[in-house]
A and B are shown apart, each in its own frame.
Chain A
């Protein structure tokens, strides 16, 4: 098992954790109108991943070539380049980049962007609270997503506690790939867990996500038995997890859980190629295709035939 594939340890959060996006007015990450905060860093390497900026726990510089006006401000600002680093293109990093963000700061047109700003708990939660009038009006709240937010357990726990003190509803969007002890500590501080269930077969799971699914399934059983509010999320990736036998196995597993939980089918979409390119990374590793509407409907139907509460996003959530 590589470094990336080990369940998250606790790195502490003395200097804050890198946040790569705060999405306000999010309506697909739990009940009501929500603010979703995306924490950087993920132990999984799903081969359909469309959030490549979520993987690395450290800040990164992304470049949108189409916004570059070739003014050279980035080259002048870079403390490492000595004025010779290429201004744009995927090969801009010659290995000396320290991810300081000086080039992004200098860029007049947002062609360069430093992704991942370290944030401390108190000021982060204060920002997340800004949409409280809309949370209150809609039964919404705050969602912690990633990456894998459980990579930062003490930071996440502190955020959840701060939210609870302020009376903010919380959701945690997780792959489930975390030590049982960490999962327990987070689950008892969150109101809802949005829990990914990608594949039931350990080998297929390992091949396509880089990690074993045993800890994911064990955690899910334990949370369900403990009465946690869980929204199970099934990312539908054609050719990976859509064959009928697997759907039946998945349904049987969810049906066997002690609690009853809704299952959200999230259709895979091919939106990530640009993002990989902007980070100067090859990828995504495997070309998948989005399911057709008919396939999506058929999958939902098959899961429903097992008496599951199946929902498509855009439905009544």
Chain B
């Protein structure tokens, strides 16, 4: 990387996350004056304009791409209109042991005086929680599901290529045409559309104002700059900021800056999930890159430097911190902006270009936490690009992750999108498929599948509290077959999916009515054409997801019941439930038998895998196709982020031998240590799920560095990826394990039985080799690096 990028990267890594109260102060000032005087969309647009016109600007040394959400890198605003931090929350953020956000004592005082009193009782979160029924609160507190929108706005979306072809001024022309089409009609629906379109027009103005302020700042700095090279850079920055995003970018530099201003707009307007994301950045930048090389205005090195500057900007923006319990416990501050490389073009050709390779180099050299990145692998993806990407995967940063672009297209088409819109789509957040620039695809919450087995094994009572939580599904001692156990679980699922969706309607309506997003709506088709907000069904496609968690733990538990109670008949249901309630105390031989003598998911064993498919199908049937509040439908995702840990903490012992409180299986990965036949068997098991009827599945596969040495290591990875994607798998992430993981495996072999290591010219299960050899491999892994 260039010296400039190295300095910017170093500064970003060194910058301490902090809380900036400036947004809260400006927003509260505007709301105090305007709330109740304007319809919601216009109130929101006025607030956005106020922020863009007043917020403190930052333009740091060395920067070529400019603009920060806060007054300085990693200074993170709050969003009191959604949820308002208390004094205690702010104090916790400054002192929590994981990632902390510095908060100045004077700022806490000012927050207490000027922000908190205004918002008390008025935040979206408080209003929605007050409206939600008791059944929702009970299930939420018990850990049956989580709620995504209680602290962050819907978001979850990605830009397509329109901002590289049309500036804000062009979008305003579209808005004017849409307003003209509305004519003089005065009915409430038309009035609402007119308000929305005017709000969007004002939001576009706000973005232009924000950019022009940066142009002025750059010019001021240029005048004062004595160093001639930096002075001309600042003059160029001023020129770029005058041009974009008002007008379409003309070159590579302007294209990156145009996106960055749009990104800042989206994350300033609201704290939407997964921030925002340029999507197919390589495809968008390809024409600018080619043109720049052809007319001599750009070199490969310059393009790479600009990309480096651009990447650092993402890393300067941690996720907005939460309130309450999550403020104390969450260590996450990555914001999941997930750049897509490769994939397909709108007309179905391979999307890889020279910028794809440049991006890979930047990802490799900078290896920053943000932006996250992934490779969209299709049958048309050229082998050299896949191999170059796998060369980065092998280094063990944990990225890029790998997606099956053909499967993503098939998933989106199955949901009713046109094939062109599907190809312009990709994946964002963790693994979620979406039609970029055209879809509001909202994750609504994680759903605890094994918790409902626990309820089914206690006739609907939560054994942690003794409270009746779900419907009565029968005394488990009376179950005469695995089918009856399954039916009880399924009845619990159907019930709680209903509770979850009824709750979602409350949240959806709250955002649609009180927190529209007129700036984001500019960027997503067809909000302008329909005059409707992104948060109110204005997007061309409106999808809601419920994300299933713990299918591995659930499958293995059902398999254990089938094997030991109904096939082996050495155990009764009553004995099993008693052992679970005792957390296996005094039942160690039984626990060993459940752990080690049960067909388990992840071994390409149809006895277990067929159960996984049944569970998936039942969950899918409970969710898929149900209407949401925005004119779209529900689908399922199978991903946990880190929720499998929380969900595990609210469940007692499970029939697969897992002890109370331990984490569940994550994503669609097998239970930790249950897979013993290597990665190909895991892939075969996972592919038995019909990924094409989901909006995304998450599979993690651990490999040790020794397996991945040399060209043979790349061959192995390429074969695994192509093989799994040939089976229509959606996603895989390879985690190259560290010496620490190997030490954990020594300490807890049961949880790491599937871990394969390269021994010496051959591979073996780490837990099956001698202690001495384990130590040697740990040493080797440590020295072999990442």
Contact = CB atoms under 8 A, between A and B. Distances in A.
Per DSSP, are chain A's interface residues mostly helix, strand or loop, or mixed? Answer: loop
A27 B710 CA distance: 12
Contact of B678 (A25, A133, A137, A290): A25
Given A33-B680, A138-B722, A271-B769, A314 B710 contact: yes
B115 interface: no
Interface in A1-59: 23-28, 32-33, 35
Interface in A100-152: 108-110, 130-131, 133-134, 136-140
B719 A134 contact: yes
B593 interface: yes
A139 B681 CA distance: 18
Given A24-B680, A108-B593, A314 B759 contact: no
A228 to B, nearest CB: 23
B589 A69 contact: yes
A28 B763 contact: yes
A24 B721 CA distance: 16
Given A137-B726, A267-B760, A314 B712 contact: yes
A245 interface: no
Contacts of A165: none
Nearest to A277: B770
B596 interface: yes
Contacts of A35: 680
B677 A24 contact: yes
A316 B681 CA distance: 24
B710 A315 contact: yes
A28 B761 contact: yes
A214 interface: no
Contacts, number: 120
Per DSSP, are chain B's interface residues mostly helix, strand or loop, or mixed? Answer: helix
B589 A71 contact: yes
Contacts of B770: 271, 273-274
Contacts of A315: 710-712
Contacts of B590: 108
Interface residues of A, number: 37
Nearest to B771: A274
A274 B769 contact: yes
B366 interface: no
Nearest to A31: B715
A84 B320 CA distance: 67
Given A33-B719, A134-B680, A137-B722, A316 B589 contact: no
Interface string A274-290: 10000000000000001
Nearest to A27: B716
Contacts of B593: 108-109
Contact of A69 (B592, B715, B721): B592
Interface in A47-95: 69, 71, 73
Interface string B681-724: 10110000000000000000000001101111101101111111
A317 interface: yes
A51 B53 CA distance: 74
Contacts of B762: 26, 28, 313
A159 B67 CA distance: 66
Interface of A: 23-28, 32-33, 35, 69, 71, 73, 108-110, 130-131, 133-134, 136-140, 266-267, 269-271, 273-274, 290, 313-317
26 contacts: A25-B681, A27-B763, A32-B715, A33-B680, A33-B716, A108-B590, A109-B595, A110-B597, A130-B681, A134-B683, A134-B720, A134-B723, A137-B718, A137-B722, A138-B720, A140-B719, A269-B773, A271-B769, A274-B770, A313-B712, A314-B706, A314-B710, A314-B761, A315-B710, A315-B711, A316-B710
Interface of B: 588-590, 592-593, 595-597, 604, 677-681, 683-684, 706-707, 709-713, 715-716, 718-724, 726-727, 756, 758-764, 769-770, 773
